[in-house]
Amino acid sequence: MDFNDTKFDVGFPSAGDGHARAPSYQQRYWRRAVLLKLMVLSGVVCVIHAVFWNGRSTRARGLSGKPTPKSTPRIEGDTLEPDFDWFSLVPSDEIKWTPCFDEFKCARLILPLDYLSPPGYGPNVTIAVQILPATDQANARGTILINPGGPGGSGTDMVKRRGKDIMRITGGSYNVLGFDPRGTGASTPSAQCFDSESQFKIWGAQAGTQVLNLSDESVPFARAREIALAKKCETALGGIGMEGVNGTAQEWGLARFMSTASVATDMLNITEKLGEEKLKYWGFSYGSVLGQYFSAMYPDKVERVVIDGVFDGYNYRNTSWNSNLIDTDTVWASLPTFCHQAGPSKCPLYEDTVEAITARVEATLEGLKKEPLAVPFAPAGPYVITYKALHNNAFQSAYYPVSQYPGLAQALVAIEQNNQTALEGMEERFGAGVKCQCSDPPPWLLQTEAYNAIACGDGEQLTYTEERYRAWYEDLEATSSFAAPSWGMQFLRCAEWRIRPKWRYTGPLAAANTSHPLLIVSPRYDTVCPLSDAKRVHERYPSGLLIQNSYGHCSLAAPSLCTAKHVRAYFENGTLPEEGTVCEVDELPFIGTVHSGEHVMSLEDQETLDALRRLGEAIPMIGAFS
């Protein structure tokens, strides 16, 4: 691949360059920026800047909520961080690289909005792509495409922040490429339903304080919110029912063209425009669904496909969402178990027995139902810790026990003891903390509704009735009493989403033969993508299954050199693990490293382990899926 710098004039694309809706989208951004500046000068703008837990996880705005690029300044907290201007890159029918972020190359690729229309008919989308060239160019093997999950996660942000770690794990002979799936990140048009970031956050602030419960008003209230959101999105993203040859993506309806089938075909186009014959890919969580779709639709284009943290594509496509929680309670129960093993010096919740720790945690949660805890003197202003705030944080902490359980344990003790000094520094953990932010982020960092458009659009259309929902929820609750109050939003969200994709893949999510077998990686106990799903997918595709003896979502939730070496061997040599292979981990929650004092780790292994730790921190929790 040629990574020589591509020279071109910078500026906004003209109306005739094939870029779908970009001029009006950019004009809207700059008009808004000018208006905000005027309002700031008159002292009337103060945007609510906080994370609100409204039944879904942190939304797609870059995986950590932090900016990825670097020339337009943006306020992030109390610091001014420079941003790269994605819209300074002129979109092209070919991938035209330009330097970005020091060691990376970026481009915006024009692809058809509708793959079912004749070539050249109708509007286009632009897909943002960002690549980190291989360090071992002498043995270059091509390019690995990354999908961090969601659906709705930004691949460009993932690669910008953790591309070097991915390269360390995969051996250095592959370029690492992140792309923003249509409607997300720096790809345009963007699947935005709200007029501004502040409007979105105010909507989130109205979400209420209860998790779902069939015995109170939480379900009707949550459903009403989904109805309101779905109708607003239908106006913004559903189109006007016309597909004229010169129509815009807004007229055609962006959300009708965001299906996983379209994204899989985008990946095929990206691969071919890189000058490569077949796909190399590593997908996490929802990325495992995308990998299943691609391998079923284009089996002769599979060179290396790793799917990690696997959701059964059939359960996903049926809009069932009821196989995910099989192991969730086991993951949650591991907190007191690991705490007890670690001892009082490492776990502040420690008691003499696992049962006593469990009772202590449950008492703290239940106590907030009766008496929410006021924190009046937090730096960003007073807030209240509710049962919902703690429950949602506990559920999301169970995605990554190694990195998140220690902080959750500290929070539980602080709540139990009403330690105001400690609680005053925990606003963001509990969805509080209001700060003035008097300008919107750049467009590629704005919140989107890509999750609904993709996940609900891919699935069968649901019809809500009280009886049907009750039966579904009770089954979910029987599977996981811990997760059902949060996961129960899946049905409500998709039952009210009315925008249907023009192209929805309904063929077999299986392949008798692929040009190379897949590598399927699964923790033994995954929070929302259980091993049983991975085994079902393993039966439907030529593949090897690698089980990691860990707790949490995706293999990266617990660093394992064994797993990393199998992934590298697969990418470098196509080698699959033997049937029944199980990898142990190198770090456990609270306990830390599990290496004995006599074990001396090589420098290469230490660097790989450090890369695994960093990469595990970067996988997002977007939507309720990943």
The more confident residue out of 465 and 23 is: 465
DSSP 458-479: HSPPP---HHHHHHHHHHHHHH
HEC-encoded secondary structure of 275-312 = CCCCEEEEEECHHHHHHHHHHHHCHHHEEEEEEECCCC
Whether 436 has a pLDDT exceeding 90, the answer reads no
Write down the mean pLDDT value for the chain.
Answer: 87
When mean pLDDT is compared across 47-56, 81-90, 400-409, the lowest value belongs to 47-56
Judged by DSSP in three states, 19 sits in coil
Judged by DSSP in three states, 177 sits in strand
Alpha-carbon distance 93 to 101, whole Å?
23
Judged by DSSP in three states, 586 sits in coil
pLDDT number for residue 201: 87
For 224-254, how does the pLDDT look when each residue is reduced to its tens digit (9 = 90+)?
A: 999 999 999 999 999 999 999 999 999 999 9
Highest mean pLDDT (candidates 26-40, 416-430, 607-621) = 416-430
The more confident residue out of 620 and 404 is: 404
Residue 92 DSSP label:
B
Residue with tokens 């999301």: 396
pLDDT number for residue 86: 96
Count how many domains the chain has.
Answer: 1
pTM, full prediction: 0.88
Alpha-carbon distance 390 to 217, whole Å?
20
State the amino acid at position 461 in one-letter form: Q
Alpha-carbon distance 612 to 618, whole Å?
10
pLDDT number for residue 84: 84
Residue 580 domain boundaries:
1-626
Which CATH number do you get for residue 572? 3.40.50.1820
Alpha-carbon distance 196 to 446, whole Å?
8
Q: Which two tokens mark 246?
A: 């010169």
